[in-house]
Homo-oligomer: A and B are copies of this chain.
Amino acid sequence: MIEKLIVKNNKKIVMLVVDGLGGVPYIEGKTELEYAKKENIDNLAKKSMLGLIEPVFAGITPGSGPAHLSLFGYNPIEYEIKRGILEALGIGMELKDEDIAIRGNFATIKDNKIIDRRAGRISTEESYKLVDLLSENIKKIDDVEIFWGKGIEHRFVIVLRGEGLGDNLNDTDPKVENLEPLELIPKDELSKKTAYILNKIIKTSSEILSSQEKANYILLRGISKMPDIPKFYKRYHMKALALANYPMYKGLCKMLGMDTPELGMEFENLIKYYLEQYENYDFIYIHYKETDKKGEDGDFFGKVREIEKIDSFIPKILSKDPDVFILTGDHSTPSALKSHSWHPVPILIYAKSGIFNDENAKFDERSCLRGYLGIRKSYEVFYIILSLAERLEKYGA
């Protein structure tokens, strides 16, 4: 439906995504947002529409991939990003539309039985060396290029690039130990070639790794192709810039066809680039990662400080006077729970007209619960954002 209603104009939308923003009551019965001193944000909240957003579905804790798709107006259940692709994006591998990505594990095999699915959780350092060794020796099989990506501990990623490769294949990981690795069984014609290439990779890897004590075998999982997701520009007719420090977020935005400049690991550099490039884009997404990390660590006060730090950037971001400004998170990461959670995420939408605001509001979970937007799916709220930017036509006459 949405594609048919899109109109172009020169209104600008800026979306600041503070990763893992939402919390639950913890210290003094407060959430991190309730505890933080964030004058700029709270002042803005009094002039904005508030609400709570759910990335996927009630009760479902999302990963960052589906949560971000939802923020950009894509229903993440309709547009599923499979595991191999997510993993490749997560470690910053460049992917093309027809590539096949696979999660790999180093494992220990003996008498053709997997006796340790994680090769004793070998160190990341050791794992890096082995991936280097494999990538030097296995670069191409027939017409298929092979790329190796490094992960934490026993994990790595393989990307296949070539003509006519399918992804309709099972995992080789038997999931429990003391079983033989599973045979790759292609479920359609195109996947036969993929199975043939992967079997060669498994065989050659085993030879190369045969002298290893622990990591003498590779198990393959989540064999997958890029999902068939309409590109952001094609869907919304907005030129989009993605400003993020971490590979996962850049990778996902690149998949949607957004511009994703390489700006290093400093958030300040994102803001600097934003100020320089503002005029060249219709939609600018800015990602702040540190809040999520502190949440995952269970560091309540650390997350509070990160929220306060983000508060200090608000005047600079607003100095460009965007037509619509959104401050929200991709999902909640309450430090009380030390992990992503299902809890709906606070959202603030400022726009120049069409806003219901509350002069007494602050920007936190409980204020947002009473906000004008109610509790909604993230991808639904993107339509409201488009409408506030006057980028949606009337539906029906």
A1 B77 Cβ-Cβ under 8 A = yes
Q: Which residues of B contact A366 (CB under 8 A)?
A: 356
Whether A86 pairs with B386 at a CB distance below 8 angstroms is: no
Q: What sequence of 0s and 1s flags, for each residue 372-397 of chain A, a beta carbon within 8 Å of any chain B beta carbon?
A: 10111100111111110000111111
Cα A264 to Cα B65 in complex, Å, equals 52
Binary B-proximity of A334-350 (CB < 8 A = 1, otherwise 0): 10110011110000000
Contact A62 B396, beta carbon cutoff 8 Å: yes
Q: Does A24 contact B (CB under 8 A)?
A: yes
Asked if B24 and A65 make an inter-chain contact with CB atoms under 8 angstroms apart, the answer reads no
Cβ of A383 and Cβ of B64 under 8 Å apart?
no
A310 → chain B closest CB, angstroms: 22
Asked whether any CB of chain B lies closer than 8 Å to the CB of A355, the reply is yes
What B residues does A77 contact at CB under 8 A?
Answer: 1
Q: How far is the CA of A366 from the CA of B361 in the complex (A)?
A: 14
Within 8 A of B (CB), among A348-376: 353-357, 365-366, 369-370, 372, 374-376
Residue A133, interface by CB 8 Å: no
In angstroms, Cα B87 to Cα A62, docked, is 41
Select the residue from A334, A354, A383 with max chain B CB neighbours within 10 A.
A354
Can you tell how many copies of this chain the complex includes?
Answer: 2
Q: Is the CB of A24 within 8 A of B355?
A: yes
Nearest chain-B residue to A67 (Cβ)? B396
Cβ of A190 < 8 Å from any Cβ of B? no
Q: How far is the CA of A319 from the CA of B117 in the complex (A)?
A: 43
List chain B residues, Cβ under 8 A from A397: 63-65, 83, 86-87, 90
When the two chains form their complex, are residues A334 and B354 in contact, meaning their CB atoms are under 8 A apart?
A: yes
Question: How far, in Å, is A338 (CB) from chain B's closest CB?
Answer: 10
The answer to whether B372 touches A59 (Cβ under 8 A) is no
A182: chain B residues within 8 A (beta carbon): none
Contact B24 A392 (CB under 8 A): no
CB of A66 within 8 Å of the partner chain: yes
The residue that A374 contacts in the complex, of B61, B65, B374, with Cβ under 8 A, is B374
In this complex, the member of A5, A353, A385 whose beta carbon has the largest number of chain B beta carbons within 10 angstroms is A353
Question: Are B76's CB and A396's CB within 8 A?
Answer: yes
* Docked complex Cα distance between A337 and B67 (Å): 32
**Interface: A185 (CB within 8 A):** no
Of the candidates B336, B353, B381, which one forms a contact with A337 in the assembled complex, judged by CB atoms under 8 Å apart?
A: B353
Q: Enumerate chain B residues within 8 angstroms of A393, measured Cβ to Cβ.
A: 61
Most buried by B among A56, A337, A374: A374
Say if the beta carbon of A60 comes within 8 Å of chain B.
Answer: yes
Q: Does A141 sit within 8 A of B, measured CB to CB?
A: no
CA distance A76 to B394 in the complex (A): 13
Which A56-91 residues have a C-beta within 8 angstroms of B? 56-67, 76-77, 80-81, 83, 86-87, 90
Q: Is the C-beta of A247 less than 8 angstroms from some C-beta in chain B?
A: no
From B57, B66, B354, B377, contact of A24 by CB (8 A): B354
Q: Does A25 contact B (CB under 8 A)?
A: yes
A-B contact pairs, 5 of them (CB 8 A): A1-B57, A24-B354, A59-B383, A61-B387, A343-B356
Instruction: Give A residues with C-beta under 8 Å from B.
Output: 1, 5, 24-25, 52, 56-67, 76-77, 80-81, 83, 86-87, 90, 334, 336-337, 340-343, 353-357, 365-366, 369-370, 372, 374-377, 380-387, 392-397
Query: Apart from A356-B369, A375-B376, what are 19 other A-B pairs with CB-CB below 8 Å?
Result: A1-B77, A24-B354, A24-B355, A25-B355, A59-B383, A59-B384, A59-B392, A60-B383, A60-B395, A61-B393, A62-B395, A63-B397, A87-B397, A90-B397, A334-B354, A336-B354, A342-B383, A342-B387, A343-B356
